[in-house]
Amino acid sequence: MQEGANRRFNWAGLPLIATIARLLCREQTLQNEYLRAENKVLRSKVKGRIRFNDEERRSLVDAALAMGRKLMRQVVTIVKPETILKWQRRLERHKWDYSKHRRGPGRPRKPGEIEVLICRMARENTWGHGRIQGELAKVGIAISQSCVAGILRRNGLPPSPERGGLTWREFLSRHADVLLCADFFTQEVWTFCGLQRAFVLFVIHVRTRTILLAEATFSPHRRWMVQQVRNVLWECDERGIQPRFFIHDRDGCFSREFDTVLKHCGAEAIKTPFRAPNANAYIERWIRSIREECSNHLGLFGLNRLRRVVRQYKGFFNEQRPHQGIGNRVPIAIDAEPTAQTGKGDTRLGAVRCNEYLGGLLKSYRRAA
């Protein structure tokens, strides 16, 4: 019996591979015990329900099913074993349902480019379904009226009679060459009686952004306003501008006599809606420019000083200041050919001089002659 016991515990007589396997199995068992204890502690720290995405569910199902149901009930603690099996059934159903290859009932939709073009035609015009169908046929696109109606309905565009008319932006862009805009802005001026409010009337040509008139007064009465509108029309004759529309707000200074002078010269006065500054946006932007660049930085003493400042800024704005709305060109040179720009690698700039206006408040740069 003693000899049998010695043979049972004679480790040296066991094959080397079996000894290594036994040691590795014990080490693996110890690691698993530690991981179970650690997982149990971590699970107790997590409050609430843990949510998994599809990839995490798939990895847990693969690892759990490889152990078998009996071992899975002992090891899996993050979810119930029944949950693992439910995930497995769901994955099997998703594998064979071919949901990605299904399509809804009816014909397939038209390509996105055609749909965008149809919506663009509807927004830019007041056309009906038949007219849009005809315009598409001109560019080689065959489509039915019912398809056009469905596309417009899907994009929230109503039929032609219910669509809005001409917007202010479209009106201004279509008539920019024959459109003038006018308005006032006020400026406080120091006088012998203290601060007194002055009114500055200015008129702008929309297409070129040229300031045709900029005059200041303490009292914009009717006779003064009529004379100013005549000055504007004379300036238009000199510049070859034929105004058809004259936009101004509903200020009482724009009297009936003011509009009558315009009417005799073939121009129609258009009044902006109440409390709608965006309807005369070019004017509002010019007011912001003259305030930020000029009047807010000066102390004005007397009406003559205000008139001099306004006229100098008018000349600077028309002849020196580039405007982003007309391609960063100055208004006076909008009809001229754009000058060639110096390349990035060309350093032969030559002499560049700075012209100053209003004591250096306004600056403009140009090449020396």
Domains of the chain: 2-44+67-94 (no CATH), 112-165 (no CATH), 172-332+350-363 (3.30.420.10)
Higher pLDDT, 58 or 217: 217
* Angstrom distance (rounded) from CA 140 to CA 134: 10
Q: Which of the given ranges, 32-46, 67-81, 145-159, has the highest pLDDT on average?
A: 145-159
pLDDT tens sequence across 175-196: 788 899 999 999 999 999 889 9
User: What band does 122 get if pLDDT is binned at 50, 70 and 90?
Assistant: confident
pLDDT at 233: 93
Q: Where are the alpha helices (DSSP H) in the chain?
A: 2-8, 16-45, 54-67, 69-75, 81-96, 112-124, 129-138, 145-154, 168-174, 222-239, 256-264, 281-293, 303-319
Residue 165 has pLDDT above 70, yes or no: no
Task: Evaluate whether 236 touches 242 at the Cβ level (below 8 Å).
Answer: yes
Residue 26's alpha-carbon distances to 71, 116, 144, in angstroms, are 18, 69, 77
Q: Which of the given ranges, 19-33, 69-83, 223-237, has the highest pLDDT on average?
A: 223-237
Task: Evaluate whether 201 touches 177 at the Cβ level (below 8 Å).
Answer: no
User: What band does 336 get if pLDDT is binned at 50, 70 and 90?
Assistant: low
pLDDT at 4: 47
Cα-Cα-Cα-Cα dihedral sign, residues 131, 136, 138, 144: negative
Name the residue type at position 125. Answer: N
User: What band does 104 get if pLDDT is binned at 50, 70 and 90?
Assistant: low
For residues 16-29, give the mean pLDDT.
63
Number of C-beta neighbours around residue 152 at 10 A: 23
Residue 330 has pLDDT above 80, yes or no: yes
Q: Measuring CA to CA, which residue among 207, 203, 200, 210 is closest to residue 230?
A: 203
pLDDT at 1: 45
pLDDT tens sequence across 49-69: 777 777 777 777 777 777 776
Roughly how many angstroms between the first and final C-alpha of the chain, as a whole number? 122
pTM over 0.85: no
Q: What SS3 class is residue 109?
A: coil
* Angstrom distance (rounded) from CA 213 to CA 238: 13
Residue 356 has pLDDT above 80, yes or no: yes
pLDDT tens sequence across 72-86: 776 776 777 777 778
